[in-house]
A = this chain, B = another copy of it.
Amino acid sequence: MPDLSIDVVAKAAGVHRSTVSRAFSRPEAVKSETREHILKVAEGLGYTMSPLAQALRRKTSNIIPLIVPDITNPFFAELAKTMTQAADERGYQLMLCVTNGDPAKSDGYFTAMQAMYAPFGIVAPSTKVDTEALKRFAFGHKVVVIDRVEGDDSVPTVTVDSRKGIMLALDHLHSLGHTSIGYVSGIAGTHTAQDRMDAYLELTAQSGSTPVVLDSGSDLDAGTRGAEHFLEMDNPPTAIIAANDMVAFAVISALGRSGLRVPEDVSVIGFDGLALGARFNPPLTTVRQPIADMGHIAIELAEKQNVDGSVDHIVLEPELLVRGSTSEPRK
């Protein structure tokens, strides 16, 4: 197929390059008949504009990076899924960047995206975000973070209300009759993870019970260790809150290997609301984060910041999702 450039379309339509350009990217600046003619000709030739050339000249592209630590983690996968959709609803191309938790790689992606003239980026961190580091990059001021950040209001964020979520979990368990409720912390070392734990500690204390933190690690084995710890206790809690669904899976799996059944022997509740949870054994009761909303909102925030410079911090409401991993305490 012959190389299709704006010039061949221009020639075919009998107008100048610049008119073709305008016909596409600034329709109101071209007489409507001319424009329609051009569009028809272009259509006939099967022409589309080169995003590269466009980006080069305009110094802004339509590709936006989503930086996640681990796509293998279903939370990020679901986030990526909804964000892809949200992005191309608005004409963006989402570029998924997986750091594997390596900050150096993260930096690399940033510079790459800068070079690609990405208009902004979305970061789902695995650690507490260093806003200073963010700002070393040209579009540091054009990043929205899917987590809370500390001491710096200049970067937009989206989160769910951790405290509210933990409260939902606690209330659910209480209403089932549980009074001793343990906690296993999450995978990521984010503010969000911290907040959930803090909320657990605080709310438990408030209700007059003693908090039982079974594990406070932030790696993939937190669940397994939490379960081990649980098994060693003389007087273990009757229910466990896991800081996120993946950890809940691990907890249930480890418990299961030791012959304990959920929810008959222990109740376990997660936090995330992964679709996967519905197909777990047993189906996981959990606190749902509105992941789809987070994706859309992240993009909206970025766009909003781009136009009026406003920096928002959106906190979404979690929701209880009762499935099969919680029940009344044994006996």
Chain A contact residues, CB within 8 Å of chain B? 1, 48-53, 55-56, 61, 70-72, 74, 77-78, 80-81, 84-85, 93, 95-96, 98, 100, 111-112, 115-117, 138, 223, 246, 249-250, 252-253, 255-257, 262, 275-276, 278-283, 324
* Least Cβ–Cβ distance between A229 and chain B, in angstroms: 17
* Chain B residue with Cβ nearest A50: B115
When chains A and B are docked, how far (Å) is the Cα of A22 from the Cα of B50?
26
- Which one, B78, B255, B280, contacts A253 given CB within 8 A? B280
Q: Is the CB of A249 within 8 A of B72?
A: no
A78 — which chain B residues lie within 8 A by C-beta?
72
A275 — which chain B residues lie within 8 A by C-beta?
72
When chains A and B are docked, how far (Å) is the Cα of A262 from the Cα of B78?
28
Q: Is the CB of B71 within 8 A of A98?
A: no
Q: Is the CB of B51 within 8 A of A115?
A: yes
A116 — which chain B residues lie within 8 A by C-beta?
51-52
Q: Is the CB of A257 within 8 A of B283?
A: yes
* Least Cβ–Cβ distance between A11 and chain B, in angstroms: 20
When chains A and B are docked, how far (Å) is the Cα of A184 from the Cα of B6?
53
When chains A and B are docked, how far (Å) is the Cα of A85 from the Cα of B53?
28
When chains A and B are docked, how far (Å) is the Cα of A70 from the Cα of B81?
8
When chains A and B are docked, how far (Å) is the Cα of A186 from the Cα of B284?
23
* Chain B residue with Cβ nearest A221: B279
Tell me whether A80 and B93 are in contact in the complex, defined as CB-CB below 8 angstroms, given that A72-B275, A74-B74, A279-B250 are known contacts.
Answer: no
- Which one, B1, B98, B117, B250, contacts A138 given CB within 8 A? B1
A112 — which chain B residues lie within 8 A by C-beta?
51, 93
- Which one, B53, B223, B280, contacts A249 given CB within 8 A? B280
For the complex of A and B, the 4 pairs showing the least CB-CB separation, nearest first, are: A96-B96, A256-B281, A253-B281, A250-B279
When chains A and B are docked, how far (Å) is the Cα of A316 from the Cα of B71?
24
A80 — which chain B residues lie within 8 A by C-beta?
71, 96, 98
When chains A and B are docked, how far (Å) is the Cα of A80 from the Cα of B93?
17
Q: Is the CB of B52 within 8 A of A257?
A: no
A249 — which chain B residues lie within 8 A by C-beta?
276, 279-281
When chains A and B are docked, how far (Å) is the Cα of A155 from the Cα of B98?
28
Tell me whether A256 and B279 are in contact in the complex, defined as CB-CB below 8 angstroms, given that A56-B50, A80-B98, A112-B93 are known contacts.
Answer: no
A85 — which chain B residues lie within 8 A by C-beta?
100
Q: Is the CB of B72 within 8 A of A81?
A: yes
A95 — which chain B residues lie within 8 A by C-beta?
95-96
Show 21 residue pairs from A and B whose CB-CB distance is below 8 angstroms, ordered by the A residue.
Answer: A48-B111, A48-B115, A50-B56, A71-B71, A71-B77, A71-B84, A71-B96, A72-B78, A74-B74, A80-B96, A80-B98, A81-B100, A95-B96, A253-B278, A253-B280, A253-B281, A253-B282, A253-B283, A255-B281, A256-B282, A257-B324
Tell me whether A252 and B223 are in contact in the complex, defined as CB-CB below 8 angstroms, given that A52-B117, A93-B112, A117-B52 are known contacts.
Answer: no
* Chain B residue with Cβ nearest A83: B98
When chains A and B are docked, how far (Å) is the Cα of A146 from the Cα of B81?
21
A49 — which chain B residues lie within 8 A by C-beta?
115
